Structure 1
Amino acid sequence: MNRIAATLDGMNTIVATVTKWLALLMVLVQFGIVLGRYVFGVNSIAVQESVLYMHATLFMLGAGYTLLVDKHVRVDIFYAKAAPRSRRAIDLFGHVFLLMPSMAALLYWSWPSVRNSWKILEGPISVGGIEAVFLLKSLIPAFCILVMLQSLSEIIKLIVRGPK
């Protein structure tokens, strides 16, 4: 069981290692957009949309890793002062009854839109934009799957190893 959890953790770590470079690239491209527009009077909608694509990719593919390193948003009204055993119960409940079902629902309800987008190779958001909205929409199921895999890993670790 520990090996399964480690494999799932490794998958999200690899995705995050690759994805984190988008943050730097996004800043550089945005700097180039501002420089191009205000210094040289040059503008490109496709380049502007690329920042949107990088931002979406960074957050959607980084969500599983965020769960792995326990940096996600937590409403800790009870959690902060709870005993380790209670924290474990709260975490298990959250993963099994809240996170996994919500990700499954999002995956289920978004899939027709993603499928149709691929079917027609959906074009740009704006005229002159990037002709790959189908790739942008594909981030939704990727997000769901990566978060669900990491949630499964966390469930395994909570059951096998106990509280942190």
Structure 2
Amino acid sequence: MRFLAGIAAIICAVNLIIGKTFAWLSLAIVVVCFTVVVQRYLFAISYVWMQDLYIWLNGAMFTAVAGFALLRDDHVRVDIFYRPARMRTRALTDLIGVFLFLLPFTWVVYQYSMPFVQRAWSYHEASANVGGMPGLYILKSFIIGFAALIALQGLAMAIRSVLVLSGNAHLVPKSIEYRADAKVPELPKGAA
């Protein structure tokens, strides 16, 4: 069981490093977008490659940080039943969800995007816009990275669930442990 916990910890560390690194692209997106707006409205000039750049940075960031968001439990979930549930119930729900929905989803994304990415690499696809950025094939490769990082984090979630269900919750890495204090907040009286 310690081996499984170690694998989960490594997966979480990878997603943590990638997520924190690529999250900085949000600052680059704001700077580039601001520059494009200033150039267009103050100086009446525009560069297509700069417009491509902030759109591409946005795509790269959101695909790269998806596993990090799953690690932090930031993805949308119906919490009305999940959050107030006991730890073992949450673990069972996660285990079923990972194998029934998450891993099949990542497999479908991988299967359908791989020919798309390979074709883009075969002719070094660039922007369709005249004067746009080269290297669109690199951006398209992020789709494969997205599927891989989400699948890996799903595997870490499954390991966490197995550890909890087997009575080894103490081995769950801190980065993915269930929080006992994660309760649904009560509404103040008269708020409903």
Q: Tell me the secondary structure at the aligned position of residue 43 of structure 2.
A: coil
Aligned-residue Cα RMSD (Å) equals 1.3
1:107 maps onto 2:135 in alignment: no
How far apart, in 1, do the equivalents of 2:38 and 2:128 lie? Answer: 23
Tell me which residue corresponds to 1:90: 93
Q: Tell me the secondary structure at the aligned position of residue 39 of structure 1.
A: helix
Q: Tell me the secondary structure at the aligned position of residue 102 of structure 1.
A: helix
Tell me which residue corresponds to 1:122: 125
Q: Which amino acid aligns with 1:93?
A: I
How far apart, in 2, do the equivalents of 1:40 and 1:140 lie? Answer: 36
How far apart, in 2, do the equivalents of 1:139 and 1:72 lie? Answer: 19
Q: Which runs of 5+ in 1 are unaligned?
A: none
Q: Tell me the secondary structure at the aligned position of residue 121 of structure 1.
A: coil
How far apart, in 1, do the equivalents of 2:128 and 2:22 lie? Answer: 23
Post-superposition CA distance 1:35-62 (Å, at most 9, x none): 1111111100100010111100111000
Within a 5 Å distance, the mapping from 1:5-154 to structure 2 comes to: 5-154=8-157
How far apart, in 2, do the equivalents of 1:104 and 1:52 lie? Answer: 26
Q: Which amino acid aligns with 2:38?
A: L
How far apart, in 1, do the equivalents of 2:66 and 2:116 lie? Answer: 21
Post-superposition CA distance 1:40-98 (Å, at most 9, x none): 11100100010111100111000000000111111235324433322211111111110
Q: Which moved more, 1:144-153 or 1:123-132?
A: 123-132
Q: Which moved more, 1:126-135 or 1:108-117?
A: 126-135
Post-superposition CA distance 1:105-133 (Å, at most 9, x none): 11011100100110011121312111111
With normalisation by structure 2, the TM-score equals: 0.81
Tell me which residue corresponds to 2:186: none
Q: Tell me the secondary structure at the aligned position of residue 126 of structure 1.
A: coil
With normalisation by structure 1, the TM-score equals: 0.94
Q: Which amino acid aligns with 1:40?
A: F
Q: Tell me the secondary structure at the aligned position of residue 143 of structure 1.
A: helix
Q: Greater Rg, structure 1 or structure 2?
A: 2
